[in-house]
Amino acid sequence: MFVRTATASTAAAAVLGAGALLLPAAQPQETSARTPDRQAGPLVVAHRGASGYAPENTLAAADAAKALGIDWVENDVHRTKDGVLVVLHDTGLKRTTDVEEVFPDRAPWAVKDFTAAEVAKLDAGSWFGARFAGARVPTLTQFVNRLERNRQKLLLEIKSPATYPGIERDILRVLGTAGWLDRSHVRDRLVIQSFGAASVKQVHALRPDVTTGFLGTPAVTDLPAYAAFTDQINPSYTTIGADYVAAVQRLKGPHGKRLRVNTWTVNDAANAAKVHAWGVDGIITNYPDVVRDATR
């Protein structure tokens, strides 16, 4: 879902050059993970951080979102060979790191085949731009600590859960240790989502208080079954329209609130305005400034 575009605002470029769920609120003075503020427009979520401006899923991308004034950051989580949770999109390390150079004999370079210490040696920034050389693949602990420092919020995606049996429990353990499962974080600052329905169900079973999201576009007739364990249906914008958004929002999720629709990955003003008109609750984007400006 990573696409670079020329639609980014010049103001954003200036800010980043100098300094470098879904989930809106019921009332204007509060931004909640479960209650939207229609007056303010859809919630804008920085996809893998502000990944149009910094290498995806790095601390720099979280900081870039912060520089743009974006509270919500989406990320992706995998597990290393020795059980450490790391923030990376692909199941492999090849696309966004220099793993081929550092470990040339380890193809296909799957995350699950490397230890955390080995992953920590990799450059996860040079592929995006020379000024990001030396950026590392963060652990989940490092990532949430940075969000905490930035006073940001997290939409966490469990990637390829079948590859990592028990990863839901591991994620909750790390989040708990980092202080992200207390009442304030669970209420307003955390959503866990996945394309795997079984994984979302498992999170809901382990921590019924945590807001969850299902990534995909279930048939309208199947939506009531999803509403039993997820608070959000988060589809690609290319698969939905106003009727689908309305069908989702007619249902209530496990917390007694209406289901949310947070769509991805919208990177231009025209499509942002279109999905806003459909009534989506949130928009996940590599260019959060562009989407914000188009929907306010």
Nearest to 70 by CA among 259, 288, 218, 276: 288
Q: Which of 78, 89, 204, 276 is catalytic?
A: 89
Q: Is pLDDT at 20 greater than 80 in this prediction?
A: no
Hey, what are 106's tokens? 């380890």
Q: Decide if 89 is catalytic.
A: yes
The tokens 């980043």 sit on which residue? 16
At 25, which amino acid appears? A
The tokens 């939409």 sit on which residue? 155
Instruction: Report pLDDT digits (tens) over 45-76.
Output: 999 999 999 999 999 999 999 999 999 999 99
4 pLDDT band (50/70/90 cuts)?
very low
- Alpha carbon distance 264, 140 (integer Å): 22
Instruction: Report pLDDT digits (tens) over 174-226.
Output: 999 999 999 999 999 999 999 999 999 999 999 999 999 999 999 999 999 99
Q: Which of 47, 185, 204, 276 is catalytic?
A: 47
Q: Decide if 276 is catalytic.
A: no
